[in-house]
Every structure is written in C-alpha cells, then in structure tokens.
Amino acid sequence: MKYRRLGRTDLEVSEIVFGAGWVGGVLIHHDAEVGRSALRLAREAGVNWIDTAPSYGDGISERALGELLPELDWNPYLSTKFHVDPASDRPVSEQIEESVGRSLARLNRTSVDLLQLHNPLGAGSDARRLAVDRVLEPGGVADALDDLKRRGLTRYAGFTANGDADSLKRMVTSARFDTAQVYYNMLNPSAGRAVPAGWSAIDFGNVIAHCETCDVGVFVIRVLAAGVLATATRTGREIPMYASADMASEELRARAAWDAIDGEPGSRAQAAIRFVLDDRRVHGVLVGANLPEHVSEAAAAVDMAPLQPDTGTALHHLYSSDNGQLD
C-alpha cells in the first residue's frame, strides 16, 4: 500500500480507502463472516481508513464496524457523516449532535477522525439540498462542526462535494473544511479537469483544483460509478449520484471508456482506480467492495503502472468531444 498526506491534516491516508457504503455493500448485503473477511483483507493490504455513514443500510454499516473492528483488533482511521433536514425548525447543531451521538453508539466509539456533511449542496435549499449559506452562516453547520472538534468528538470536518460548481467552490474556499469527498471517475472527470462548453453531464467545475489551492484533502467517491465502470453485471444498486444522469447514459459512457482503456493490463476496475490515482491531487480513493476479493483487486491497483500514454490520449479525445457528441 502507498500513502498520501490528507490535505492540511497531519494524517497519512492509504491510497485505497475501505468504502463501507450501500452500493458495494459488503458489510450490508452479506453476513458477518463475509464482512469480516473483507475487513481482514483490507487490513492485510495496508488500508488504514474506513468511511461509513448512518444512511448506509440505515445504520447497518456503522453497526457492523462497531462489532467487527474490535473483534479484529483493528483501529483504522474512521469517518462518518450526517444529514441536516433543510425543512426542520430545529437548530442544525441539535440535528448534528443527535446524528453523531447515534453514530458513535453504533460504531462503539467515543470519537471519529472525520465527520462529514452528507447533504447535496446548492444556492438554495429544498427537501434534501442544503443551501451553502446554511452551512457557513453564524450558528450553521460549520460552526457546529467546530464545536464538535473542540469537544473531541471529531478531529476534522469535511463535506460531500455534490452540487453545482459555484456552491462547491464556496465550500472549499471557505477555509472551514479539511476534506471533501469528490465525484471523479472515467465517466465524468469534470471535478478534476475543464470540460467543453455543452458538456452533457453535470459539471463539477474542476473542484479538485480549488482543493489543491486551499490544501483541502480529497477523497474520491464513485470511482467505479456504482459498479458501471467495473462490470456489465448489474446488482440493482447502480444508482447515479446526480439527478441529471440515468443508467442508459452512464452505460454509454462506460462503453466508451472501456474502448479507451482497451489494452491496459489488469481489470476494468483497476484501470478506473489507476485513472484517479494518476492524479496526485487525490489523496484517497473510496472503493466499495461487493465481495471480499474486490478489496484485494482494488489494493493491487496501487502497485500498477500509470495508464499508458495512448490511453490518456484516447480519454482526452473522449472528454474533449463529450463522448463524441461534440465532434
């Protein structure tokens, strides 16, 4: 395993992070022995970070970690998340405190290393989306996280970079957050590079460049696009992360990406992971395994060579033409 400094924190994070989410779901959709095996393989590979959330299996993921990690005598870095109800009259500090208390109880811990806002972000609020003003205003989410840090419930604060480009830039440049979880993969690389006008997918506005400038740690999420980049086999959990995407368009982009990486050694999943790890501005890649062997497959990608120059050229043409739509 290789490690990278996580932004301005004092932590060295493994390039592969164990994603304990619902889509891969090795801790959620299988029995404890399968989850135990996956965690054991992650530890043996040198993984030192696990990411979870209360919404993953409605607490199942956190609860599994709270039971299995002590059993394995493993104490990796651990991050979890919280949602704020934009329509609630309750102060956000109360909502966050309640969520964190429940998470810590399930995790069997008194603190976590990183606590992250999980809401989508925007200029205004709706049923799920939280306005950035609600995050940064006095008494808002950022202030509540500062209080939790002072009280020792979390070391660092982060957010999920899911929203329009301007909102994400405001969050990163606010100097209130230590890390961001960024959607970045071979289907949609707009978080890490400029894309052409008329780009048909959501444009994340090269948010990784802002993270680099502000020394904000970057965790990449959905590196396999919920499995669409890894395999043509479907589990039924391949749900696009953003509203403007649909499965048909995701699969079209995946087939184009597969053509571009044809000839690369290893599996499709490993090529997708290498694509992201080739970007040194990225610090850790969250990989959600469906089976224990997927953990080993992901970890092996760390020691593989960068993508070949011809592959980079093919991908550049793919993105500059928006998958051929702008040719």
For helices 292-301 and 268-277, angle between their N-to-C axes, nearest 10 degrees: 50
Sign of CA dihedral 264, 228, 163, 65: negative
Q: What band does 155 get if pLDDT is binned at 50, 70 and 90?
A: very high
Q: Tokens representing 293?
A: 């062997």
Are 215 and 10 a contacting pair, CB within 8 Å?
A: no
Which stretches of 243-298 are assigned E, i.e. beta strand?
A: 284-287
- Give tens-digit pLDDT for 88-107: 999 999 999 999 999 999 99
Domains of the chain and CATH, by start: 3-320 (3.20.20.100)
DSSP code string of 13-32: EESEEEE--TTT-TTTSS-H
Instruction: Say which DSSP state 163 is in.
Output: B
Q: Which residues pair with 179 in a beta bridge?
A: 158, 217
Buried b (16+ CB within 10 A) or exposed e, 94-128: ebbbebbeebbebbebebbbbbbbbbbbbeebeee
Q: Tokens representing 143?
A: 């202030």
Q: For residue 125, what are the CA distances in angstroms to 14, 87, 129, 134, 218?
A: 35, 8, 5, 9, 25
- Give tens-digit pLDDT for 242-291: 556 666 677 778 888 888 899 899 999 999 999 999 999 999 999 999 99
Q: How many residues does the chain have?
A: 327
Largest CA distance in the chain: 56
- Give tens-digit pLDDT for 205-254: 999 999 999 999 999 999 998 778 876 565 555 465 555 666 667 777 88
Query: pTM of the entire structure?
Result: 0.94
Are 13 and 49 a contacting pair, CB within 8 Å?
A: yes
φ and ψ of 74, to 5 deg: -120, 130
